[in-house]
Structure 1
Amino acid sequence: MDFKKFLPWIIGIGLILIVAFWVIGINNTGLKKNQAVNKEWGNVETTYQRRNDLIGNLVNTVKGAADFEKSTLTAVIEARAKATSITVDPTNVTPEQLAAFNSAQSGVSSSLSKLLVSVERYPELKANQNFLDLQRELASTENQILTARTRFNEAVQDYNSYVLAIPQSWFLSYPEKPFFKSVDGANKPVEVKF
C-alpha cells in the first residue's frame, strides 16, 4: 500500500481537525469568561441584597424612636424600593442598564447616609445595641459591595480583553460588556452637616 498518495489527505484532515479544536477552544474559553462575568454580577447583586435586607432591619429599629423624622425614613424606604425594582441581565448588560442600577443604588447610599447623620441627634437610638450592630453590619456590607464591584470589573476586563482580541473576535459573537462606573459627582467630597 502506497501511503504517499494518501499523505496530502491525511495532512489536510489533520489540519482541519487542529483548526476545529482550536476554534472550539476559543469558544469554550469565551464561554468560561462570560460565565465568570455573570458569576461576579451575581455577587454584586447578592451584596446589594444584603444591604437592602439590613436597611429594612435598620428602618424598623429606627422606627422605634417615636420622635424620629418620618421624612428621612420615608426617603430611605423609597430609595430602597426603587433600587430593588431595577434588574440587570448580566448576559446582555448595557451601559445604560448599569448606569440606571448604579444611580438607584446611589440613591440608597445617599438617603442612608442622611439617616445615619440624623441619628446623631438621638442619643437613646445611638445607644441601642441593635442599631449599633446594624450600623457595623452596614459598614461591612459597603466594603463587600466595593469588593464585589471591583471583582466584577476585573472579570469584565478579562472577558473584554479576550473576546475583542484577534483572532478570537473572528470566531466569537460575544458583545463587549460595560464596566461598573461611579455615579456622576462621586469624585467630589461629600459634605456632611450636623
Structure 2
Amino acid sequence: MSKGLKTTLIIIAVIAVIFLPLIGSYNSMIGQEQKVNAASSNIDTQLQRRSDLIPNLVQTVKGYAAQERTIFTDIANARARLSGAQNVTDKANADAELSGALSRLLVVVERYPDLKSNQNFRDLQVALEGTENRIAIARQDYNNVVTSYNTTIRRFPNSIISGIFRFEQKPYYKASEGAKEVPKVDFTQ
C-alpha cells in the first residue's frame, strides 16, 4: 500500500471517528425535539377536547342557573384566551384561568339538585372529568420529554452541537401563579 493511500485512509478514519458521533448526537436531538413537539400537540388536543365540551356543559347549566352570568362570561373569555395562546406559557396561564372558571361553575351546580340529577349534565361532567385526567397526563408527558430534551442539549459534548445548530431549551408546562390559590366563591351576590 502506498504512503499516500495510507495517509488518505487515516484521514478518512479520523474524520469518520469525529463526525459519526456528531451526526448521531444531532439526529438524537432532532428526535427528542420532535417528541417535545408531539407532546405539546397532545396537550393542545386535550385542551381542545375540553374546550369543545364546555359549551354543552354551560348550556345545560344555563337552563338552571341563569343568574350566574359572570361565570359564563369568565368561561367564554378563558376559552378565547386559550384558543389564542401562542406558546406554552400563555397556554398554561389560559388553561389555569379556564380551570378556575370551571371550578366556580361546578360550585354553582351544587346549588341546583335537579341539575345534578340531570342525565345529560352527569354525562357531560363525566366526559369533562375524563378530559381533565387526559390533560394532566399530557402535561406530565410533555414535561418528561422536555426534561429529557433539555438535559440532552446541555450535556457535553452535545452542548457544543446544540449551540452550533441552535437547539434551544424548551419551557416546561407550569401552572400560572394564580392557579396556586383557591378560587374565592361568594354566594351572597
| Range class of TM-score, shorter chain | 0.7 to 0.9
Structure 1 position 29, deviation (Å): 0.6
Query: How many pairs were matched up?
Result: 184
Unaligned runs of 5+ in 1: 89-97
Q: 1:126 corresponds to which residue? A: 116
Of the candidates 114, 136, 140, which is equivalent to residue 150 of structure 1? 140
Write the distance in 1 (CA, Å) between the matches of 2:120 and 2:143: 34
Q: Distance in 2 between matches of 1:81 and 1:123?
A: 30
Q: What residue number does 2:78 align with? A: 79
Alpha-carbon separation, structure 1, partners of 2:81 and 2:5: 69
What's the counterpart of residue 14 of structure 1? 13
Matched, 1:57 2:56: yes
The two structures, once aligned, show a CA RMSD in angstroms of 2.0
CA contact (8 A) 2:26 2:161 kept: yes
1:53-78 residue CA offsets vs partner (Å, 9 max, x unmatched): 11111112222336452222222122
Q: Conserved in 2, the CA contact under 8 Å of 1:62 and 1:68?
A: no
Structure 2: runs of 5 or more not aligned: none
Instruction: Give the Å deviation of 1:153.
Output: 0.5
Mapped to 2, the partners of 1:74 and 1:19 lie a distance apart of 60
2:168 maps to amino acid: P
User: What CA distance in whole angstroms lies between the structure 2 residues aligned with 1:14 and 1:174?
Assistant: 28
Distance 2:17 2:159 in 1: 19
The alignment status of 1:164 with 2:163, answered yes or no, reads no
After superposition, the Cα gap between the structure-2 partners of 1:56 and 1:10, relative to the gap in structure 1 and judged at 3 Å, is same
Identity between Structure 1 and Structure 2 (%): 39
Maintained 8 Å contact 2:143/2:173? yes
Q: Contact conserved, 2:97 with 2:179, CA < 8 A, in 1?
A: no
Kept in 1: contact 2:143–2:172 (CA 8 A): yes
Cα separation, 2, equivalents of 1:42 and 1:153: 13
Q: Secondary structure at the match of 1:87?
A: coil
Q: Which residue of 1 aligns with 2:128?
A: 138
2:177 aligned with 1:178? no
| Secondary structure of 2:131 counterpart | helix
Q: Secondary structure at the match of 1:6?
A: helix
